[in-house]
Amino acid sequence: MEQEASVTKLNIEQIVADILNTIEREREREIVARRYGLYDRKETLEQIGELLNITRERVRQLEKAVVAKLKAVADKDLPMVKQFEEVAIAHISSVGHVARVSDLSAKLTKDNSKIDQSRVSFLAQLSPKLSVIDDNDHFFHAIGVRAEHDEKKIRESVGEIVSAIKEIGKPVDSKAIQEAIGHADHVRVTALASISKQLASLGEQWGLIKWPLVNPKNIRDKIYVILRDNGKPMHFSEIAGSIRGSAFKRKDVTTQAIHNELIKDKRFVLIGRGIYALNEWGYSKGTVADIITQVLKEAKEPLHRDEIVKRVLKHRQVKETTILLNLQGKKEFKRVAKATYDLASK
């Protein structure tokens, strides 16, 4: 497994300024700076055209020509691009050969502001050894090492991962995805998955962004994830504590709010004093007497009290004496032999 490299912080602002200073005409410098958001927010062709009193098409032509020229001379005449390139490739290679622009900027810059991220993207655009994925509905703004995969290959690889997760139909870790698509490196699988807006992760598990198990949007979903991961019933106060100590984005919840949501959601079953389980685990709602009735109906014959206790405890977490008191004190049940009970209605 590749280890993340220690990355030197760069003076990205100065590097960008040095590159812009190689552009002879002020108007062209202005266009590039404004289009890429190098000193302020990114501006549209129309906005720049109005400012400079030229058509949007002329802005587009000038931008394309200037950037093409910078790319052409970057390797030979712009050593600052090579400086950026070397440091960027070192980091990106260590995390799977592709990374979000925001993550790379966090490594290379002091503040990781939106302008810093725009500058990092601009420099990557000039590098012949880097591929840039534009931000859109399906992808986060990202940069890849061209020697490993160009822009087209990155998009195709991410598509394979999304398809594999859809086919599996449940959250899985990167190693399972790696096996499903026949990829050699699960670190790269994680890197590729992280640039997709169709996917989300929680802990080590990856899934579709719409799946609550990897992208819980409300308190109820978070409760479900906590119970599922714990694998056994929990007291509502313990659930609240687990959410507050979790990796969820929003985890500032009150114990009372957790209790209220547990009561309202059919996915959760009260099985003891303040203790809740997932309905899918087979626990049943209702009183202890209701559970005893269910057990005897399913058995279709009288049962010894020890067997009744054993079966009831599979559905509810209560004291054995509580079950016995219900058996002996409720009119719904009758003793038909020594320590053996059946439904009174039979």
Judge if pTM exceeds 0.85: no
Specify the DSSP class assigned to residue 42: -
- Both 269 and 306 in one domain: the answer is no
Q: Please give the structure tokens belonging to residue 336.
A: 């038909």
The pLDDT confidence band at residue 3, using thresholds 50, 70 and 90, is: very low
1 is a domain residue = no
Q: What is the pLDDT of residues 105-117, one digit of tens each?
A: 999 998 999 999 9
Residue type, 120: V
Residue 6 has what pLDDT?
A: 52
The domain boundary residue, chosen from 266, 281, 296: 281
Mean pLDDT estimate for the chain:
91
- Both 52 and 94 in one domain: the answer is yes
Which CATH number do you get for residue 84?
Answer: 1.10.10.10
Residue ranges making up the domain that contains 324: 288-343
- Both 277 and 293 in one domain: the answer is no
| Averaged pLDDT for residues 49-56 | 96
| Averaged pLDDT for residues 206-211 | 95
Q: What is the number of residues in the chain?
A: 346
Residue 5 has what pLDDT?
A: 47
Of 229, 177, 235, 183, which is closest to residue 203 (Cα–Cα)? Answer: 229
Helices (H) and strands (E) in the chain, counts: 16, 11
224 is a domain residue = yes
Question: Among all chains, which residue has been given the structure tokens 């992280």?
Answer: 194
The pLDDT confidence band at residue 265, using thresholds 50, 70 and 90, is: very high
Helix (H, G, I), strand (E, B) or coil at 334: strand
Which CATH number do you get for residue 307?
Answer: 1.10.10
Residue 247 has what pLDDT?
A: 80
- Rounded to the nearest 5°, which phi and psi values hold at 334? -135, 150
- What is the spatial distance between Cα 295 and Cα 324, in angstroms, rounded to a whole number? 14
82 is a domain residue = yes
- Both 23 and 140 in one domain: the answer is yes
Residue 281 has what pLDDT?
A: 87
- Both 156 and 75 in one domain: the answer is no
Does pLDDT of 1 surpass 60? no
The pLDDT confidence band at residue 249, using thresholds 50, 70 and 90, is: confident
- Both 32 and 130 in one domain: the answer is yes
- Both 229 and 196 in one domain: the answer is no
113 is a domain residue = yes
- Both 24 and 80 in one domain: the answer is yes
Question: Among all chains, which residue has been given the structure tokens 């719409």?
Answer: 210
| Averaged pLDDT for residues 18-36 | 95
7 is a domain residue = no
- Both 139 and 166 in one domain: the answer is no
The domain boundary residue, chosen from 123, 145, 167: 145
52 is a domain residue = yes
Q: Please give the structure tokens belonging to residue 156.
A: 């195709």
The pLDDT confidence band at residue 13, using thresholds 50, 70 and 90, is: very high
> Residues 145, 98: contact at Cβ < 8 Å?
yes
4 is a domain residue = no
Domains identified in the chain, total number: 4
Q: Please give the structure tokens belonging to residue 100.
A: 């979000």
Range with the lowest mean pLDDT among 36-50, 141-155, 275-289, 327-341? 275-289
- Both 124 and 155 in one domain: the answer is no
122 is a domain residue = yes
Does pLDDT of 4 surpass 70? no
- What is the spatial distance between Cα 254 and Cα 275, in angstroms, rounded to a whole number? 17
Question: Among all chains, which residue has been given the structure tokens 């940069």?
Answer: 143
- Both 138 and 194 in one domain: the answer is no
- Both 274 and 293 in one domain: the answer is no
The pLDDT confidence band at residue 224, using thresholds 50, 70 and 90, is: very high
Residue 288 has what pLDDT?
A: 87
- Dmax of the chain from CA atoms? 103
Does pLDDT of 2 surpass 60? no
Q: What is the pLDDT of residues 142-174, one digit of tens each?
A: 999 998 888 999 999 999 999 999 999 999 999
